[in-house]
Amino acid sequence: MAKPSLKSLQTRIDHQFRRRSLLLEALTHSSYAREAGGRTRDNERLEFLGDSVLNLLVSIRLAETFPDYKEGRLSRARARLVSAEHLAKVAVLLELGKHLRLGRGEKKTGGATKSALLADALEALVAALYRDGGFEAAGKFVDQFVLPPDLAASANELLSVDYKSALQEYLQGQHLRLAKYRVVAEQGPEHKKTFTVEVSAGDGWLASGSGASKKSAEQQAAMTLLASLGRNPEPHD
């Protein structure tokens, strides 16, 4: 099946590249470049640059939108907005996977849908926009696709503590067994259920939490386990 044209992607992101080679480079995975025998540049250099450009642009927007917030809260919000998980979701929204140039082996293993690969390509695309149209072009893209439509209204979601991530970081830092979550109970009517989730991690550690959704129950369980370990992920800001 033929790939969709680059014109459709440029229309989607509302930027016509003066240097089309930059866009091609941003969409080229190392597996494709290797098979091309060194005649094609992959997107790793652009990915490196895009990471810095993205962090700067998101930092500027957050500082402008939340002038009274201290560094800890702003850093937490930025971490969510530039996380691989979030960037991969943006890439899926843009159907970036359909445009990627992948090697034969990477295609066979579903490279076009791999979250890490999509997040890397999204960073490379930001860098390509910056090199083609400067901070104005890159900033326009970030505002439209990376940031929430109403950044100020998203404060609670962006600034809340992600206890699951905090627990994972702690366990990884201690070289301990990573957390596993399982639903152990569901109560109430279908439209108003309460879920109870148990988390197990580390050296036989257990904790549980409840919430109106599985995700909120997992967060509660992770928070309870962190508290039992004497860990407080809340920044002092």
C-alpha 17, offset from chain centre:
25
The question of whether 51 is a catalytic residue gets the answer: yes
Residue 26 parent element (H or E): helix 20-26
Given 42, 106, 120, 123, which residue is catalytic? 123
Domain with CATH 1.10.1520.10 in the chain: 6-159
In tens, the pLDDT along 106-147 reads: 999 999 999 999 999 999 999 999 999 999 999 999 999 999
In CATH, the number for domain 163-228 is: 3.30.160.20
One-character DSSP codes across 84-135:
HHHHHHHHHHTTGGGG-B--HHHHHTTGGG-HHHHHHHHHHHHHHHHHHHHH
Domain with CATH 3.30.160.20 in the chain: 163-228
In tens, the pLDDT along 15-48 reads: 999 999 999 999 999 999 999 887 889 999 999 9
Q: What is the pTM of this model?
A: 0.74
6-159: what CATH class?
A: mainly alpha
C-alpha 217, offset from chain centre:
22
The question of whether 14 is a catalytic residue gets the answer: no
